[in-house]
Structure formats: structure tokens, C-alpha cells
A and B are shown apart, each in its own frame.
Chain A
Amino acid sequence: MEFSFTPEQWMFKEQVIRFARKEIAPRSPDHDLRGEFDFQSFRKLGEFGILGLHFPEALGGSGADVVTTVLAGEALGEAGVDGGLTLAYGAHTFLCADTIFCHGTDLQRERFIPKLASGEWIGCMGMTEPGAGSDVASITTRAEKRGDRYVLNGNKMFITNGPMADVAVVYAKTEKDLKHAGMSAFIVEKGTPGFSAGKNLIKMGVRSSHTSELIFEDCEIPAENLIGQEGVGFFMAMQTVEWDRSALLAPFIGGMTYVLNKCVDYARQRYQFGRPIADFQAIKHKLADIKIFIEAARSLCYRIAWCKDQGRPLNHLEAAVAKLFLGDWSLAPANDAVVLFGGYGYCHEYEVERYFRDSRLAPIGGGTSEIQKRIISKLLQWT
């Protein structure tokens, strides 16, 4: 067992941090407060190569391995990029583009991946429905084959990037009476008749990412927009879990490092009772707890990434453990950071407040903590 990154990976991480600190992070507070998506920063992520990092060069990517890709996500967080933008990046690259890349035809890859990798197009993924969240197999959106077309009807809910996505990977039932085996995935492009997005939902955190309903009303798409085959949609969605438990979690870890650094600066500068609050044991205690969380979480996340690099099938137990720990155990240190800043920590002006709001998504999005516990307990029961 060994836990090192290569010198190239370290160097790349430093590059991403420098780039993001200069080009992206300064714009984060404003976009977060206004709840506006930062198109400029998103395109810059594309120009820098982050949006398509792991795709082959021929498709506009850099051919990076999974660990390096995850490292880039951690670097964005560490540089102070808000959780809204990193979430938008995650949904775009890993939930949308990667599904097309892994399961699509050559034609689909060539048409969509280069534009998604560059950030020219924005992608989203539609799985959750108003009545189907954790229980994904109970989705009711239908895709009915009529000749050389599919007709989609139904609604998707809480879709990150939904309002401005150019491309959506949408899961729908092609066999309504089947559960998992009846699910299929489709590419739906913006402007397709019958396809529309609801209004942007106002959220507690990750506010610079736009979230909305997707509405399909007799939405006709060509049959060649089916990804892979009918009935394997659930399998495709499960494949994205590997990214969800590594690359999408990494910005939370990086973000906690950013918060820790902010706390250190503040604790040194803030004087009470004639000395910096950093001198008080209670403050050191909070700094320690944040640090412990970061170090404990890091290996869980990179273990998933490393296994994916080895070409191993996803270990559902390890994935659920990573998601559960990152989700539930990040709340206390995020809270510690706000408390350490006192009244200032409660104000928008100080970024710990934003991180606190952003981190509240971790136990909810991409499979709630309760679902992770359900997965783990079932696996324990069977072993």
C-alpha cells in the first residue's frame, strides 16, 4: 500500500490551484450571492482543459487518469472555487459527457464530447423525478418507440445545469412494467420540440449552479439518440457512481482545506483578551477537527479513483462508505469554521458561510446518507 502522487500530478494540482485562484475564485462570492451561473468561469475551465480532462485528446480531452482528474477537483476547491461551479462541472463532465463517452456510438462521441470538453456546450443529467429520488427504478418518465423516433413524456426534478444545458442525458422507461431493466438513456438537445426546463430553483447552497425541472411533453427525438441499448440505463447510471464518489466529492475536501486556511488566517489576526484567538485551546481544537476530517476523508475518495484507474468494477461498499463519511462527517467541521469566525462567520462576506451552505448538499445530493447506510447494511447482511 502506498499513498503518493506522482511529481507530475503534484505539479498539475499546483497549476490548477494557481489558475483557479487567479481566474475563477475571485468571481465566486459574487455569483454565489446573486445565484447566477458563471458562464465565463465555466468556459475558462474548458479552456484550461479541466472539463474534458479524462477524455482522449482526439475528442478534445487530455487523456488524464482518474486520480489526476480527482486531484483537479480537489484543487478547485482548495483554490476557493464555490461549490456551485464545481457541482456544475461535475454534472456536466461526469454525469452527462462521460455517459455519452462510455456508452455512446462513435458518432455520438464525435458530435458531443469535443463541444462538452471545451465548455462550448453545457451538459446535464436527468434521473431524479418529483416522485422518484433515491428509488430511481420507480421513475415514470416514458420513452415510447414510434418508428425511427422515441417520444418522451415526463418530468425530471432537481437537475443541475438544467436551465441552461445544451445537452441532456435523460433516463426514461422503455418498458414501463419493468423496474431497473426497463430503464434506458437518451440524449436530448436543447431546442427539441416538447423539451423545456422549469425556472431556476432557489437553493440554500451551491447557488451559482442552476437547478431546475426538465419537462418532456411528447418530446420526439431520433432513435439514434438512444445511448447504448434499451434496458441498460440503470447500469449506465450506476457507472457514474464511481465519479460521483470520487471526482464530485473531491471539491468538498479541497474546499475544506480552503476553509481551514481561512480559519488559520482569521485566528491569527483576530485578537481577544489581548492575544490572537489562535492562542486559545478551544480554537486550536476546532482547527484540529477540521484537519482531521480532511485527512480522514481524502484516502476514501482517492481509493475509489485508484480502483477505477485499475479497471476494477465499483466496490459498492467502499463507494457508500466514502459518500456517507464525506456527507455526514463534513457538517461538524464546516460548522466549526463558521463558529470560529464568530459573527463574521454568519455574514455572506466571509466565505466560511458559503462553504457551510454548500457542504449541506453533501449528505443529500447524489444519493442521501440514508441510502448509503441502506447499501452498506444490505451488503453487511449478505456477507
Chain B
Amino acid sequence: MNFDFDEKELSIATKMRALFSPDSKDFLARGESNELQQTRDSLLQWMERLRQAGYFDLGIEDGKNSVALVATRESLAAVAPSLFLSVEVSTRLFGRLISVYGTSGQKAAFLPSIQEGRLIGAVGLSETGMNIESSLDTLAVPAGPDFRVSGEKGHVVNAPVADWIAVAGKINDRLTFFLLRPEHEGLSIGRRLSTLGYDGVAISPLSLQNCPVSSGSCLGPFEDNEPLRKARCWEDEILTAASLGLMRSALDTASEYAKAHKSGGKPIIAYQEIGFKLAEMLTLFQTAQLLAYRAAWMAEMGDRENEILGHCAKVFCAESAEKITSASMQILGQHGYLRGNPAEEGFRNAKYLQIAGTSAEISRIKIGDGVLERG
């Protein structure tokens, strides 16, 4: 047992702090832009910066979570939430699919660009009719030596700005990921969806109609659905870290405001209504942080309970993020209700974290099933 960060974890934290110096604030703000070309440009510029800081050194090739990775992700998610989601989906969702399930040729073709932050990736998983059993309606039928893929995907992060998209589907009822270029024949990328939060993340639906795909452009077919389960797990890890980032940012914002803003001649933090709210926020944040770290550590160790703990962390962190951002907005009063401040932005962003990936409801069912199996 050791609750201190080790040297590796500390050194990454130092690099990340240096990267997000106050003078990078404006640059970071551009990551929240909803203009598509600016989103793409900003994303590529930031990925270059992140690469230089060593952000991509962790967890892409081995596909493993770790305490160091959670702490690193938390730093980015706190200062640039949209940028964080886009970068992570590109590298540690799309990138991990290639590094863990790709052929040696695919790895050679994709990995260098991913690790150098030169390629934006997206992954199409969700479908309208998808349920807890993870059925997929995106299907490939044989067409000579190749396949023709048809299906619909709902909300694909990075799709409008991606260089490559991995689309989950089935060949002869076996899970396969199809690697497609945005301009691929038969693939239509829908218009960018307008969302409650994560303003800088480009999300759109996909439609595939008889897309010709060669077997060389497939990950799989796989014997079972394990890669899909794994992809969901990676997605949840990203969203858990995103929650920590939102919590930290919202707590810092509220705390600074409560110390600076005066009412009745004293800072509002001196009033129990405010001070106690902050205490509850900090308690939730520290608890969520430790739970996320432990879940990551268990995943790294391959502990048999790591999957359940991962779901526990996702639910607790995502729901705590909503509570903390809401309380932060309340503390900021009317200022908190104004568009563009971290409390308001965090409040809008937080809802996504309970919905995306494995939703809070499905996570609870999985935790319940796990408890019933082991009990």
C-alpha cells in the first residue's frame, strides 16, 4: 500500500503543469470552439504540444490504465475538457484498437501517426437499438474478396474532423471493426450535432450504405465480443478521468470565487452555507479521485474485480461531477449562470458523462450483476 505518487507519476504531473501555464489559456480556449476547421486545427496543434510533453507515452500501446495515466488525464480534462475528450478518443480509443487488435501492418501504418499526434481518429460504437447485450446492426456482407458494410451509428466523437474512423459491426455474426476514411465510398458523415455541453467536441452520426471494405481494412473478425467490451471499458476510463477534471475545475473556480467575493463585509466562504457546500464538494472530489485511482491500479494489476470497480468509479465520478459543477454554479451566483465561465460550462458538460460510454443505468446493472455473481 502506498498513497503517495511515485516518481514517474510526479514527473508527468510536473510536465503537464508546465504545459498548461497561464499563457496557454487563450490557446486552450480555442479548443472549445464550435467552428469545425478551428476545432480540427486546434486539436492537431494541441496534440503536437501534448506529444512533446510526453502525454502519449502512457497507455496507448499496452492499452492499460494506470494511476499515472488517470492523474495525467485529469490535468488535461480540468483545463480543456473538449480538447481532452477529442484527444483521448483519437489516441486511447481509436489508437488502442489498432495497437491491441491490429495486424502488424496496421500497427506500422497507423501507430506512429497516432503517437505523434498527427492523426485524428474516431470510433463508431453506439447504435440506436443497442442494448446491454451489445447487439450490433451494422453488418458486412461478402462481395467478391471484399465486403459491403451497411449500418447507422449515432453519436460519434471526432467524426466530422477525423482522418480515420473505426466502425464496429459484424461479419458472419462476428465482431469486426472497419477502418474507413471520411471520404470512403458509401460513408456519409452527418452534420455536426448541437449538444448541451462539450462545445468543442465535434460529434455526428454516421451512415454506411454498401461501403466496400477489404479484409485488410478490418480489425477482426473476432471470436467473441471481447474487443467491443474492451473498447467500452476504455471509453469509460476516459469519461471517468473527464469527470475528475470537471470536478477539479469546478471546485477550484468556486473556491477562488468564495474567497474573493465579499458579502456583508466578509468573504462568502466564511458563511457556513457556502463553506459547507465547498466542504461537501471537496469530499466528493477526493473520494472520487481515490476511487478512480484505485480502479486504474486494479486494472493495471489485472485484478479480477477491476471491471466492477471500473463501473463503480465511472458512476460515482460522473454523478459527483454533476453535483459538484451544480454546487459550483450555485456558489458563483448570477456569475455562475453566465455563459462561458467554468462552472456553467462544467455543469453542461457533466451530464454527458453519465450518458456516454456505459450509461449510469447500465453500469449499475453490471455492478449489480457482478455482486450477485460473486455473493
Which residues of chain A have a CB within 8 Å of any CB of chain B? 1-5, 67, 260-261, 264-265, 267-268, 278, 281, 283-289, 291-292, 295-300, 302-303, 306-307, 317-318, 320-321, 324-325, 329, 370, 372-378, 380-381
Interface contact B287-A321, CB-CB below 8 Å: yes
A277 to B92 CA separation, bound complex (whole angstroms): 39
Q: Mark B287-300, 1 if CB is under 8 A from A, else 0.
A: 11011011001100
- What residues on B are CB-neighbors of A285 within 8 Å? 361, 364-365, 368
- What residues on A are CB-neighbors of B293 within 8 Å? 1, 3, 299
- What residues on B are CB-neighbors of A299 within 8 Å? 287, 290-291, 293-294
Interface contact B290-A300, CB-CB below 8 Å: yes
Interface contact B283-A296, CB-CB below 8 Å: no
Which residues of chain B have a CB within 8 Å of any CB of chain A? 1-6, 9, 67, 255, 259, 267, 269-270, 272, 274-276, 278-280, 282-284, 286-288, 290-291, 293-294, 297-298, 301, 308-309, 311-313, 315-316, 361, 363-365, 367-372, 375
Interface contact A67-B1, CB-CB below 8 Å: yes
- What residues on A are CB-neighbors of B286 within 8 Å? 300, 318, 321
A264 to B9 CA separation, bound complex (whole angstroms): 38
Residue in A5, A291, A317, A370 whose beta carbon sits within 8 Å of that of B308 in the complex? A291
Count of A-B contacts judged by CB separation below 8 Å: 150
Chain A CB within 10 A, most for which of B4, B9, B272, B280: B280
Interface contact B287-A300, CB-CB below 8 Å: yes
Closest 8 CB pairs of A and B: A284-B368, A377-B275, A264-B375, A376-B279, A288-B367, A288-B364, A373-B279, A299-B290
Interface contact B372-A278, CB-CB below 8 Å: yes
Interface contact B371-A302, CB-CB below 8 Å: no
Distance from A81 Cβ to chain B, minimum over Cβ atoms (Å): 19
Q: A287-B372, A292-B312, A303-B290 are in contact. List 17 more A-B contacts (CB 8 A).
A: A1-B3, A3-B1, A278-B372, A284-B367, A285-B365, A288-B367, A295-B294, A295-B312, A296-B291, A299-B287, A306-B1, A318-B286, A324-B279, A370-B276, A374-B275, A377-B276, A377-B278
Nearest chain B residue, comparing its CB with the CB of A268: B372
Taking chain B's interface residues, is the majority helix, strand, or loop, or is none over half, making it mixed?
Answer: helix
A333 to B346 CA separation, bound complex (whole angstroms): 28
Interface contact A288-B287, CB-CB below 8 Å: no
Nearest chain B residue, comparing its CB with the CB of A1: B67
A374 to B4 CA separation, bound complex (whole angstroms): 26
Interface contact A381-B294, CB-CB below 8 Å: no
- What residues on B are CB-neighbors of A318 within 8 Å? 286
Interface contact A372-B279, CB-CB below 8 Å: yes
A303 to B311 CA separation, bound complex (whole angstroms): 22
